[in-house]
Structure 1
Amino acid sequence: MIKSFWNDPVIILYILIGVLVIDKLWSIYLIMREIVVVYHVHEVPEVLRPYLSGDLFNAMRTYKLHKSWFTIVNMLWMVVICGCLELYFGFYAYLWELANMIAWLRWMKHEVVVSIIFACIFNLYLLIKSVPGLLYEKYCIVSLVKRQPVIWYFRILNLLLDAILSFLIFSVVVVTIVFLGLALGNFAFLGLFVLALLATSIIILLLPYLIDPVLGKRVPLENQALKLELEQLTARVGFPMRQVHIIRVRDPTTGSNAFFYGSCCLKRIVIFDTLLLNRGFRSGFELPPEDVGKGLRDSQVVAVVAHELGHWKHGHFYKGLAMFTTQLLLTLLLIGLCFPHGPIYEAVGFEPGLQPIIVGYLIIFGYVLLPYFTLSNVCMLTVTRHFEYEADRFAFRLGYAAALRQALLKLYADNLSFPITDDCYSIWHHTHPPMLRRLAQLEWLERNHRL
């Protein structure tokens, strides 16, 4: 019976539609749980009251609810309704036929050229489909972050540059996938795996040298008292202080943050200047009024760095890289299993024997492997949250639990992150544990330590 299901295009079509609907309805259910939790919170949690005013909390709550309802409506339209119609009426087969019609010259009939034309039409369709949602999100959902107005021609220029860069990157990806498919056939997934590992290695090697120009400008730490504390901390755990960098971020609305990445001589701890009190300026006069007082005191910055050192000490970079590689290999193996199966293409409207490479990857990635991606994402998020708890425990063992608690409270208030979340929603969406749970763990560690 399983074999008949696997070989029947009609049954495969309805399975794909059913999987899509069930997956997105589950996502909507999780968002509804989050909305219910937010609806029932009318006051600032007691631990946050010294850092967060009632008016700002209410604004954050309203924004959270508005954004959540918008996400539900947008998901129902963009993914569920349009996705089911696209599958049922053979939209991908129609676009492929249209791409072949546009490729009217003989040299354009090569699958690589037709695939690029198909990708351009498909991206244009996605853009048109998403315009109403983008306009509503931009002009109807009031942002909590005040941004400086951008001159209209700079905005148009940025959009054009982004579009050109996206097209070039996407074209390279399409050409690579199609050429590998033509050259290696059913074993193209192995070539993709090798290329992905190579690209990951290059990114790891280049990232330490690219992060400064991308995020902002590296600046010296002028606060000598903080510098001395950081030197003592890094010496205590054996991390080179020269690899702790302060970045003056280009966008002043960038959230307060610090992170660890890299390995061996390429490891770094990056501290955004927005994490420092008043961005590290000696006088608040150099900042807009709304930014004065934001950031952490010296002891709290050191506690955050102690947390990041926990990621380094426990080898989370290597573990995360191994997890990513395993997930990538499993994904490509599943693609290798599904890619040559003709009834999948027939299910979405193609004639028997017609199996365009780029369309195959879109269908398999977007629909066939949807349950696998959902479950693997939950597993990866569970691991990353465990990493955060482990890094918090490392900071506790160094004696920074109290300062880290205060830092978390201040950061959530400064970054305008709504502090209340549903546990089930958090499991499926958040890379970090909820703030209140992290606070509870640190308090539990301190209480048991005293006992």
Structure 2
Amino acid sequence: MLGTFVIAYCFYFLFNIYTSFMQVGFVQNAKNLKPVILSDDKYKTAANYTIEKERVAILSTLYDFVIFFLWIKFGLGFLDSIITTQELWLKAIIFVDAFIIINWILGLPFDLYSTFKLNKKYGFSNMTTKLYIMDTLKTGVLFLVFGSIVIAAISFIIQTFPMWWIWGFVFIFAVIILINMLYPVIRDKMFDKFEPLKDKELEEKINNLLNEVGFKSSGVFSVDASKRDNRLNAYFGGLGSTKRVVLFDTLIEKLSHNELLAVLGHELGHFKNGDILKNIGIMGFIMFIFFAIFGNLGDEIFLGLNISNEPYAIITVFLMFSPILSFFLMPLMSLISRHNEYAADEFGSNLQTKEDLVSALLKLANENKSFPLSHPLYIFFYYSHPPLVERFKELGYDVHSDSQSALKDEFNLNV
């Protein structure tokens, strides 16, 4: 069984490297073509950012490959040998926490480079050293407290129930739902500053839009996202009574009222089409399959890793190998997601107008430096959203034609 997982990981590694090189080569060639969607200077800037980001991803993948084999050859056995407590729940907490923290430390150079070098170079990151340290400490405290509680609970379930993987799935699925409910509250209390909209006219328009589609929320808020990043975004956070509309301050600054309403209309399309519930159902089904697989592993895989078939080992193996299983499901998940995005675009354009949505998407692409073209294989595996070129086509506009400048003039796009 271990051999099967290792072979799957090697395929996962090689395919990631291959697609990244294909993407870099594709964008390198595409950036010398006539610009589409983006203005001339931002087209080349977005291409350069995409290339640099992908090259960092290649190095990170190679680095992770080495670390993975160090873990399975030496690391897990060594960690097991130095944690000598006989209390299985306590050993699970110490072992799994240590495994996650060590991986975080080893991956820190790439995170620091992306945050303070790459993203600052392209005008995205406003992160300061102080804010980064504070975010890290807060995240660490949340992980050590609540993560440890979850690990202890799973360890208890493994020890107590013969078919523990069923109850383990139920517990983790409930935890994920709870996290989604509490996410905006946690962000508000510990990380971001949520404020009611100062633009009361915009707030009224948004509330009218929400009422039109029957979306009930606890409020519309602006968040000071610009203290960390200049990219534009908005989201519907929470579930049930915690559900709220959250607009990045950068989005409010850059988009007109009608453009912003078109973006929210797109998100409401996901709500109206039941995509949120569908995604929860799909996620639950996949997670159930994963628990069924990792809940029925034989001793051979643990012997190969030089650890015992105990709760701490089962949890760690799950963390190590579940991303590989997820990888093989990515094309299907991406296909479903892209289909949902097209449907949400249609819904959003009907709530406002196609012109408003195209105008908003064009501004988002320019401000976020999103390169509009990608290698087909890369899109097939990794794109949860269709490329902007394809989204524009579905909205009835041919961005490859010579009429792109006319498109900008038609919608009065100042980009």
* TM-score of the aligned structures, taking structure 1 as reference length: 0.77
Instruction: Show the counterpart of 2:31.
Output: 42
2:320 corresponding residue in structure 1: 366
Structure with higher RCO (Cα < 8 A, 6+ apart): 2
Give the deviation of 1:322 after TM superposition. Answer: 1.4
1:347 pairs, out of 304, 327, 344, with 304
Q: Which amino acid aligns with 1:309?
A: L
Q: Could you say what secondary structure the match of 1:62 adopts?
A: helix
Residue number among 339, 343, 346 corresponding to 1:393 in the alignment: 346
Report the equivalent of 1:6. Answer: none
Measured after TM superposition, the shift of residue 147 of structure 1 is 4.7
Q: Determine which of 383, 402, 410 is the counterpart of 2:355.
A: 402
Question: What is aligned with 2:407?
Answer: none
Looking at structure 2, the residues matched to 161 and 407 of structure 1 have their Cα atoms a distance apart, in angstroms, of 34
Q: State the partner residue of 1:177.
A: 154
* Partner-residue secondary structure (3-state), 1:66: helix
1:247 corresponding residue in structure 2: 222
Do the aligned partners of residues 248 and 20 (structure 1) sit closer, same or farther apart at CA in structure 2, a change above 3 Å counting? closer
Please state if 1:332 is matched with 2:291.
Answer: yes
Partner of 1:315: 274
Whether the aligned pair in 2 keeps the contact of 1:247 and 1:270 (CA below 8 Å) is: yes
In 2, the alpha carbon distance for the partners of 1:365 and 1:59 equals 37
* CA distance in 2: counterparts of 1:158 and 1:206, whole angstroms: 18
User: How much does 1:31 deviate?
Assistant: 1.0
Q: Does 1:356 align with 2:313?
A: no
Shift of 1:197: 3.5
SS where residue 30 of structure 2 aligns? coil
**How far apart are the structure 1 equivalents of 2:93 and 2:214?**
51
Tell me if structure 2 keeps the 8 A contact 1:17–1:84. Answer: no
What's the CA shift for 1:442? Answer: 0.6
Aligned to 2:90: 113
2:332 corresponds to: 379
Q: Counterpart in 1 of 2:43?
A: 57
CA contact (8 A) 1:256 1:275 kept: yes
Residue aligned with 1:40, SS: helix
Calculate the TM-score normalised by the size of structure 2.
0.83
The residue aligned with 1:9 is: none
* Preserved CA contact (<8 Å) 2:165 2:295: yes
- Is the CA contact (8 Å cut-off) linking 2:22 and 2:375 kept in structure 1? yes
Kindly provide the amino acid, as one letter, of the partner of residue 71 in structure 2.
E
Is 1:72 the counterpart of 2:58? The answer is yes
From 15, 18, 22, the equivalent of 1:29 is 18
Which of 145, 154, 166 is equivalent to 2:123? 145
Q: Which of 1 and 2 has greater Rg?
A: 1
| Distance of 2:380 and 2:15 partners within structure 1 | 13
2:77 corresponds to 1:93: yes
Which residue of 1 is the match for residue 67 of structure 2? 82
Distance 1:318 1:125, change over 3 A: closer
CA distance 1:14–1:319, shift in 2 (3 Å):
closer
The one-letter code of the counterpart of 1:335 is F
CA contact (8 A) 1:64 1:418 kept: yes
Instruction: Say which is worse superposed, 315-324 or 252-261, in terms of deviation.
Output: 252-261
Aligned pairs (5 A) from 1:103-252: 108-134=85-111, 136-137=113-114, 141=118, 143=120, 144-145=122-123, 147-148=125-126, 150=128, 156=133, 158-184=135-161, 186-207=162-183, 209-210=185-186, 212-213=188-189, 214-222=191-199, 224=201, 226=202, 229-230=205-206, 233-239=209-215, 245-252=220-227
- Cα RMSD, aligned residues only: 3.1
| SS of 1:48 mapped into structure 2 | coil
Pair 1:44–1:262, CA change in 2 (3 A) = farther
Match of residue 443 from structure 1? 396
**Contact kept? 1:306, 1:395, Cα under 8 Å:** yes
| 1:271 match | 247
Deviations 1:384-417 (CA, angstroms, capped at 9, x unpaired): 2221111111123345112111110111111222
Q: CA deviation at 1:33?
A: 1.6
CA distance in 2, matches of 1:216, 1:45: 42
Residues 334 and 14 (structure 1), Cα distance of their counterparts in 2 relative to 1, 3 Å cut: closer
CA contact (8 A) 2:294 2:314 kept: no
- Deviation of the 1:39 alpha carbon: 0.4
Contact 2:37 2:389 in 1 (8 A): no
Equivalent pair of 1:388/1:433 in contact (CA under 8 Å)? yes
Alpha carbons 2:124, 2:231 under 8 Å: kept: no
In the alignment, is the contact (CA less than 8 A) between 2:338 and 2:384 conserved in 1?
yes
